[in-house]
Structure 1
Amino acid sequence: MATRKIRKFIGIVLLFATGISLFFVPWIVVKAWLLPLPVSVQEQADEAVGLGFSGIIIYADVANELPKTYTAGWHNRELKIAANPKALFKIASIRKLYTAVAITKLVSGGQLALDKTLEDYLPELARRIENADKITLKMLVQHRSGIPNYTDSDDYWASPKENNAENLALILDLPANFEPDKSYEYSNTNYLLLAEIMDRVLGYPHFKFIQKEILDRLQLENTFKSVKDVDVERVMSGYHIGHPLDLKTDDIGMLATAEDVGVFLRALNNGSVFDPGEMEVYSSIYEFEHKGWVPGYQSIAKYHKDIDAVVIQFTSTTDPKLYYWNLADVEYNRTIKIIKNNLE
């Protein structure tokens, strides 16, 4: 009898806890999770727009099928231009995959060494960044440096800085968040410093190296360093809840089509972007998928080994509380379920 009462009590506690957790989950995310699963990826894209995204692009490269791109919503909401499968999109932190490949190639070529320190490559920062003499190149790649993240600065996205020097100034002389290699913390500062190191070692802007060794190699003609390098009308409009303007002209990082990102991700995972021996180096330092976020733009790039599929998702709406970040995850996972169902 006592055991039954205890079980009943535990059940009530669990039900209460579930109710509390649901209370704190945005209902738009709960709704997306509970909706019946559509039959097609196109229906899923339409559903995502119905839930609040201004526009969405999904690129799916599934084994033994021709790659397909699905769109819904707007390329430009104000002008009522429909979403374009060939649109350029700000891929944000997905760029880190390209950076890690470039680092791998420079290490393989003997121009960089994973065990050399930040102080070795940028000695002028030795007194401005704590533990610069202990932080290795590998730690920077793996987000194990302990260096604070400049985008965590108060109200950073309300007025982003215009160049690396201004961004770096936000964290100079700050204490480390942890001792090098003792923990993990995602920090955009790590990749800013890797960019500076590559520029110095190469003697020219490192994006030229990315262009030659990655983009040209894979014949990716729709991947660019900056919005300044493209016809801005090719860029999908981006919107941030609470901000009245289209954010497509803001110069924040690389742009690419979903197809270009998909081709790159396939080459990253099957090794064709690498020369002999490089895949082993890359595998030891970084991951094979990524997400990206800047105001107005969210992106997911993943390879699914079980179905040999690369699926890229771009969604052109963000919000201050990151509800749409979670919503994008739900929509992406539903798309993968649809693809798997259609393969059965």
Structure 2
Amino acid sequence: MAAGVMGVPAAAAASRAGSTPTGADPVQRGLDALVRSDGVPAALASVKERGHRTRTYTAGVGDLATGSKVPWDGQVRIGSNTKAFTAVVVLQLVGEGKIGLDTSIETYLPDLVRGNGIDGNRITVRHLLQHTSGLPNYVPYLSDDVRPYTPRELLDIALQHDAVFAPGKDWQYSNTNYVLAGMLVEKVTRRPLAEGLDRRVIERIGLRHTYFPAHGDVRIREPHPKGYYQESPGSPLRDGTELDPSWAWAAGQMISTNSDLNRFYTALLSGDLLPAEQLRQMRTTVPAEYFGPGARYGLGIVSRPLSCGGRYWGHGGSTTGYETRGGVRGDLRAAADIAVTTQPSDKGVMERVDGLVDMALCR
């Protein structure tokens, strides 16, 4: 990682593709406030209303060292939004009869999932996709140095630790579930996960700025704002844009844009990616307050209540240098996605981002 010490600039903002004056637009004002008051280097948003063109917004600067502009609809690391993509591929294979949703992972990956209180015979594919497996999360046990990892290495790190609970008896977020889901896809298809994501999702619905980076690829291909991190709360922001994302793999490795994420979640909830039965299963949820009050988790997708009534569906992602939040209304009337270029230590910042998503979807 580059490690230049940075400061936070005054807000620089603009919006595009709409007739509302910049100063009067509440989304723009919200992004400006994130930069001005919360110290976010940059914020980007895309809002699409059914029957209307997309509005694209930016605030802040794309590079703290140079003060360069934030690129319109720039690429960012989308973190755990990747889980929704991985879940779609798994559920497509379920629809094709190649995977059983309530079949044990042992059936497909024999003698692999073993540990203290951990038995692959008792963990189903559904448990993995819904985070009800009880598998420990490997992320807290990764070494501080950012290095390449194989999926098997990530799984082995997790399996050194005790089961959190018996399968199906509780809910707890764990990236280990989606590493196993990715390994399942590769075992069943006999092809790399990235190839399945490309063919089955990205190319199918025309996501032009979304990809799964190759092993060892530390770059972001297209115009993008730089992403920043802090070594500890209150410490200077450091450039973390270029890194090997293999530590997240099927759980969080992908790169995309706000508008592509809106297109993805809209296509998914519209039934363009899954048969009706698999989409129904995906939308069968359990409580997941981890994502906020009233949130529920399906199979790789999160449902959250809207202040104007109803719910919206998406996921969100957190990774070095970037946070993304958004989704599509259950009635498909609007989609919104917002990204910021750091992981704020103050949880209130991301609560305000969630509030902006809600406002964009409700207005």
Q: Identify the residue that residue 270 of structure 1 maps to in structure 2.
A: 270
Per the alignment, residue 171 of structure 1 pairs with 158
1:92-133 Cα distance to aligned partner (Å, 9 max, x none): 001111111111100001111112212222213243471211
Query: Could you tell me which amino acid in structure 1 is paired with residue 260 of structure 2?
Result: D
Query: TM (normalized to structure 2)?
Result: 0.76
What one-letter code is carried by the residue in structure 1 that aligns with 2:59?
A
Written as runs of structure 1 = structure 2, the 5 A alignment for 1:50-69 is 50-51=36-37, 52-69=39-56
- CA gap 1:59/1:170 in 2 versus in 1, 3 angstroms: same
1:26-81 CA-partner distances (Å, limit 9, x unpaired): xxxxxxxxxxx975321221111112110011110112321111001122221211
Q: 1:201 to 1:42 in 2, by over 3 A?
A: same
Is the Cα contact below 8 Å between 1:57 and 1:258 reproduced in 2?
yes
1:132 pairs with 2:125: no
Q: Within 5 Å, which residues of 2 pair with 1:116-195? A: 116-128=103-115, 130-153=118-141, 156=142, 158-163=144-149, 164-195=151-182
Partner of 2:342: 317
Deviation per residue, 1:184-226 (Å, 9 max, x gap): 0000000001111111111111221111111111111110112
Alignment partner for residue 348 of structure 2, among 299, 316, 326? 326
Separation in 2, partners of 1:314, 1:157: 27
Q: How far, CA to CA, are the matches of 1:275 and 1:48 in structure 2?
A: 39
Kept in 2, the 8 Å contact 1:139–1:181? The answer is yes
**1:233 CA displacement:** 6.1
The equivalent of 1:248 in structure 2 is: 241
Question: What residue number does 1:40 align with?
Answer: 26
Aligned-partner Cα distance in 1 for 2:47–2:143:
31
Moved over 4 A (4+): 229-233
8 Å contact from structure 1 (residues 94, 301) kept in 2:
no
| Distance in structure 2 (CA, Å) of the matches to 1:146 and 1:104 | 21
- Answering whether residue 292 of structure 2 is matched by residue 292 of structure 1, we say no
> In 2, distance between residues paired with 1:329 and 1:48?
11
1:197-208 equivalent positions in 2, closer than 5 A? 197-208=184-195
Mean Cα displacement is larger for which, 294-303 or 115-124?
115-124
Residue of structure 2 aligned with 1:239, choices 209, 221, 228: 228
Alpha-carbon separation, structure 2, partners of 1:310 and 1:206:
27
**Number of residues of Structure 1 aligned to a counterpart in Structure 2:** 300
RMSD: 2.4
Asked if 2 retains the 8 angstrom alpha-carbon contact of 1:224 and 1:256, the reply is yes
Q: Higher helix fraction: Structure 1 or Structure 2? A: 1
- Following superposition, the deviation at residue 173 of structure 1 comes to 3.5
Hey, what does 1:20 align to over in structure 2? none
2:200 corresponds to: 213
- Secondary structure of residue in 2 paired with 1:92: coil
- Which AA in structure 1 matches 2:320? P
Residues 150 and 188, structure 1, Cα contact 8 Å, conserved in 2 = yes
**Is the CA contact 2:49–2:335 (under 8 Å) kept in the aligned structure 1?**
yes
Sequence identity percentage:
25
Shift, 1:139, TM fit? 0.3
What letter corresponds to residue 32 of structure 2 in structure 1?
Answer: D
Structure 1 residues 194 and 339: CA distance shift in structure 2, 3 A: closer
For 1:113 and 1:142, how far apart are their aligned partners in 2? 15
Whole-Å separation in 1 of the counterparts to 2:35 and 2:224 = 18
- The 5 A counterparts of 1:11-90 are 39-51=25-37, 52-90=39-77
Aligned-pair CA distance for 1:230:
5.9
* C-alpha distance in 2 between matches for 1:296 and 1:249: 9
Aligned residues of 2:114 and 2:159 also touching (Cα < 8 A)? no
Task: Name the SS for the 1:313 alignment partner.
Answer: strand
Q: Separation in 1 of the partners of 2:361 and 2:111?
A: 51
Give the Cα separation in 1 of the matches to 2:137 and 2:163: 10
Contact kept in structure 2, 1:39 and 1:338, CA below 8 Å:
no
Larger displacement relative to structure 2 (137-146 or 265-274): 265-274
